Amino acid sequence: MAAQATYEFKAEIKQLLEILVHSLYTEREIFLRELVSNASDALDKLRITTADSATDDDAPLEIRIEADKDKKTLTISDNGIGMTEAELVENIGTIAHSGSASFLKALKDSGGSADGIIGRFGVGFYSVYMVADSVCIRTRSHREGSLAVEWTSDGQGAYTIRELTSGNGAEDGETVARGTSIEVRLKDDQAEQFTDVEGLRHIIRKHSNFIGFPILVNGERANTVPALWREPKFQITKEQYKEFYSFLTYDMDEPMDVLHTSVDAPVQFNALCFLPEKSKDFMGFDREDWGLDLYVRRVLIQHQNKDLIPQYLMFTRGVVDTEDLPLNISRETLQDNRLIRKINTTLTKQILGQLGKMAEDKEKYAKFWREHSRVFKAGYMDFVNRETFSGLLRFNSSACEAADDLVSFDDYISRAKLDQKKIYFAFGPSREALKLNPHLEIFRKKGVEVLYLFEPIDEFVMDALHTYKEFEMVPAEVAKPEDLAKLPDVETEAPTDSAPAPEKDALEALLLRVKAVLGDGVADVRASSRLTGSPCCLVNPDGHTTSSMDKIMRSMNHDNSVPKKVLELNPNHALVRNLADLNQSDGNDPFVEQAARQLFESALLLEGYLTDPHALVGRVQDLLTKSSGWYAKSK
Ligand code: ADP
């Protein structure tokens, strides 16, 4: 072949160059990321092809960047695989080999403005023309007997290739070192910035910090942190993990847990994930500040990618590195990417598995739960991992001694009564409030555990899960007293307010009277079999909606009306017994009416439905006045 030849660029490359040369894009520094990652690929390829045989020299594999202020040049060299002349024409001369193709397509789709999309694409080698007047590539393939070749172009439409032989004024091609060096002759207005050594080091650290080969800027190493996720686990110390975690998150605390994993199928990826000690989700701020950093072969492709993990695991910080994606993949393509979805599926399972392991240490898991459960609970929508997710939920319950004790569904099931195929739960503002909830009295009497729910999302979780290991989730409030009645009592002491139930007729008459007094305010009035210590409670007539859920639904529909409920009276309560007696002797006794209203409004108050407390307060004051008079007389 001729020792020197000039070729025209293909039309599409001309178009690309035209755009890049005239671009006003400000972050031109990304050209360095592209050249460094090409160099790193070339080193990787050499390592793979020569895995078992020694290379022709013992020099360490590295990337050198030399800046020359006076000559206004920047040279990026690697002692990687190099290119033969044919490869050079094929690789650099055709767009099929470059990220440029997808860039051009996106450019077309975007209606022609390049500046908005340059940074989001790996524009490849040609991005160098954003800063270069001309570029000179010198390369020699690792293949035995290869001659060195030189490629030069000012990016104006043509390039020249010549063999580097002693005959044409250049050094002898066979003595040129293996690998590739790219000399960038900087544009005048870019020379200052891209020959500044500190600036260059900063750019390397920003975009290429985890490249697996040393990157030397004017002889000094610039990439400081090794790509820890690609290193064998057993070689990594706890301190290294912590250091990397701090580098990644700026969090100076130690991470609570580390997940370091390497997966080959169904998709290849390495991941290094951390569980921070503290939640960032306080008060719901910074909702967008999450995601894993996505690397392709140690090159950062996207910071905080939100498709790699589900949102309910957003407390996980870390990186994912895959070999299965091209370096120059666009964000648009990433968003609905099958590979990313596969990584997500695998990683989700692994993180849940890791949490499962952590749960064996109750104290540690409680810490996790305190910090991250608010976010984690949204996982009730992950139907694929429902069983595992459910197993990781924790609640306070009636069986706990302290407010911060936690139980799992499995703990609950292990204590369930014979034939109890239900998990009972109740929603309330606090443990104290739930202890006083009349609906839970029968559970105490029968020794049946009730999970305590304190946050509105808890009820959605229960509703969505519906079952766990064949146990049905049932709100204590709508539990059927018959289901519990069969169980033997565990509370032997009768409540102090208890009294023998009134005769059937007297009770019936009282129920009718109370219903007449309350009229349209209630759906029905009936005797209760669920109460022990309280005189009354309200239940939903449909038998399945809880009052807390009902309230959420109503507030969503801007409905402020008071729902019609069934008032249940406890026949074994002294107050009910007295009222029945009074009603028996005088069917119009005004005290019965007053007491009926008072009981009903107190029950409404407990359920949070009483909007106007005036009547109730007036009645309480009237009753206190009367009773204090009687009390004073009897003293
Ligand atoms: P991409 O890296 O997306 O393939 P580029 O335009 O950056 O696109 O590079 C085109 C091709 O040129 C690369 O795929 C590679 O085969 C070759 N190449 C670029 N730089 C080097 C290098 N330093 N050493 C060896 N080959 C290289």
Residues 6+ apart with CB under 8 A from 141: 81, 82, 83, 84, 87, 178
Per-domain residue ranges for the chain? Answer: 4-221, 228-363, 393-485, 504-634
Terminal alpha carbon distance of the chain: 125
Distance 140 CA to ligand 1 centre (A): 14
Average pLDDT in the chain: 87
Is residue 295 predicted with pLDDT exceeding 60? yes
Ligand 1: residue whose CA is nearest its atom 15: 91
Cα distance between residue 541 and residue 539, in whole Å: 6
Residue with the bigger pLDDT between 575 and 558: it is 575
Residue whose C-alpha is closest to residue 12's, from 98, 84, 89: 98
E strand or H helix at 182: strand 179-186
Q: What is the pLDDT of residue 508?
A: 96
Q: What is the pLDDT of residue 591?
A: 93
Query: Which letter, b or e, does each residue of 292-317 get, where b requires 16 or more Cβ atoms within 10 Å of its Cβ?
Result: bbbbbbbbbbbeebebbbbebbbbbb
Residue with tokens 């990439």: 223
State the CB neighbour count (10 A cutoff) for residue 534.
25
Q: What is the pLDDT of residue 170?
A: 47
For CA atoms 537, 542, 543, 547, give the dihedral sign. Answer: negative
92 lines ligand 1 (CB under 6 A): yes
Largest alpha-carbon pair distance within the chain? 129
39 lines ligand 1 (CB under 6 A): yes
42 lines ligand 1 (CB under 6 A): yes
Pocket test for ligand 1, best of 13, 30, 125 (most atoms within 8 A of CB): 125
Cα distance between residue 129 and residue 109, in whole Å: 23
Domain 228-363, second-level architecture: 2-Layer Sandwich (3.30)
Q: What is the pLDDT of residue 52?
A: 46
Mean pLDDT of 434-448: 92
78 lines ligand 1 (CB under 6 A): yes
pLDDT in tens, 467-483: 999 999 999 998 988 88
% residues pLDDT > 90 (the chain): 58
Residue whose C-alpha is closest to residue 78's, from 209, 179, 211: 179
Q: What is the pLDDT of residue 110?
A: 64
Q: What is the pLDDT of residue 309?
A: 97
Mean pLDDT of 281-288: 57
Q: What is the pLDDT of residue 59?
A: 79
Cα distance between residue 550 and residue 548, in whole Å: 5
Q: What is the pLDDT of residue 632?
A: 92
pLDDT in tens, 515-564: 999 999 999 999 998 898 899 999 988 777 888 888 788 888 888 888 89
Distance 98 CA to ligand 1 centre (A): 7
Token readout for 126 is 């040609």
Is residue 56 predicted with pLDDT exceeding 60? no
- Whether domain 504-634 has CATH 1.20.120.790: the reply is yes
What are the angstrom distances between the C-alpha of 50 and each of 216, 495, 597? 23, 85, 91
What angle, rounded to 10 degrees, do the helices at 197-208 and 30-49 form?
60
Distance 125 CA to ligand 1 centre (A): 7
Mean pLDDT of 446-459: 94
Task: State the fold for domain 4-221.
Answer: Heat Shock Protein 90 (3.30.565)
Q: Please tell me the pTM assigned to this model.
A: 0.69
pLDDT in tens, 238-254: 988 988 898 787 777 89
Residue 10 binned pLDDT confidence (cut-offs 50, 70, 90)? confident
For CA atoms 44, 47, 50, 55, give the dihedral sign. Answer: positive
Q: What is the pLDDT of residue 41?
A: 86
Q: What is the pLDDT of residue 30?
A: 84
Per-state percent for the chain, helix, strand, coil, to nearest 5: 45, 20, 35
Q: What is the pLDDT of residue 62?
A: 95
Is residue 69 predicted with pLDDT exceeding 90? yes
Residue 168 binned pLDDT confidence (cut-offs 50, 70, 90)? very low
> CATH number of the domain at 393-485, please?
3.40.50.11260
Cα distance between residue 127 and residue 28, in whole Å: 8
93 lines ligand 1 (CB under 6 A): no
What are the angstrom distances between the C-alpha of 188 and each of 17, 71, 520, 558? 18, 11, 87, 66
Q: What is the pLDDT of residue 1?
A: 47
> Could you give the 3-state DSSP secondary structure of residue 355?
helix
Cα distance between residue 9 and residue 94, in whole Å: 8
Mean pLDDT of 355-367: 97
pLDDT in tens, 170-214: 455 556 789 999 999 999 999 999 999 999 999 998 888 878 899
E strand or H helix at 477: none
Q: What is the pLDDT of residue 120?
A: 52
Residue 611 binned pLDDT confidence (cut-offs 50, 70, 90)? confident
Whether the Cβ atoms of residue 163 and residue 152 lie closer than 8 Å to each other: no
